[in-house]
Amino acid sequence: MSAGPYEVLLVEVDAGVAVVTLNRPEQLNAFTPRMGLELGHALVTLDADESVRAIVLTGAGRAFCAGAALDPASSTFNGVNNEPDLPGPPMSSLSPWTMATPILGAINGHAVGLGLTYAMQCDIRIVAEEAKLGFVFTRRGVLPEANSLWSLSRAIGTSRSLELLLTGRTFSGTEAAELGLASRALPAAEVLPATLDIARDIAANTAPESVALTKQLFYEFLTTGDRDAARAEEREAFQYLVGRPDGTEGSLSFLERRAPQWSGSKHVNREEIR
């Protein structure tokens, strides 16, 4: 099923998994203000849809995203000025880590500049072995954006992050996986199928409430220095889920050796937990 009033995206939803494809293959999916608007609209729409349990983000053709569409005559780095409006926020105002739905990056080819910093906001990343990646901003006279100065060190550590950020050098998908920037590196043709396998596993076998709370608390705990408080909140959430219908269904389906039939919502009311 296709969805959305999109010009530079393709969106397909099947069996609980949405695939969002950046669709400017002749331009290596170079990022434009229009693409930012459409991504913002698509992600917010899909996150609001209870039937969508996982979102896969990938690129058409041989690249994931070659970065911003550099054009001195346009507002490449100035947001979404003079672009047609769509309901929902532009990409620049989104916080994908706050969404209830897992977002998986199928980095099928080159991901440079903005193409890489946006991929860094995905929860899970699978990358093509020979893809060229790079935080090239210092080589363009700007600096890394899209929250990458916060997120990268938490993914791969301080020294390795600063090497990549300060030099702006390019590196392969294989190196990205070795650094821990991606879960694994695969031949390009295997990247999307492997990512879809993970997404379909989430959609079929995990409870919506459990996934949403796990994601929310994981990112919240990245910003807290109070380990005991985090443990207490984790315990509260665990007890809450045990008492929910899906807490029972998870155990029953396992004991009865059948597929689970989840009934919960991925949009958890956190006030009910406290």
- For the chain, list residues with pLDDT below 70: 1-4, 71-93
Domain harbouring 260, CATH code: 1.10.12.10
The gap between the terminal CA atoms of the chain, to the nearest Å, is 39
Among 172, 204, 236, where does a domain finish?
Answer: 204
Predicted local confidence at residue 95, as pLDDT: 86
Predicted local confidence at residue 270, as pLDDT: 85
Query: CB–CB of 11/3 below 8 Å?
Result: yes
Instruction: Verify that 142 and 258 share a domain, yes or no.
Output: no
Predicted local confidence at residue 79, as pLDDT: 44
Instruction: Verify that 198 and 213 share a domain, yes or no.
Output: no
Question: How many angstroms separate the Cα of 164 from the Cα of each of 106, 119, 135, 179, 181?
Answer: 21, 15, 7, 11, 11
Domain membership flag for residue 4: no
Predicted local confidence at residue 74, as pLDDT: 47
Instruction: Verify that 186 and 240 share a domain, yes or no.
Output: no
Range of the domain at 213: 206-273
Question: How many domains is the chain partitioned into structurally?
Answer: 2
Instruction: Verify that 70 and 146 share a domain, yes or no.
Output: yes
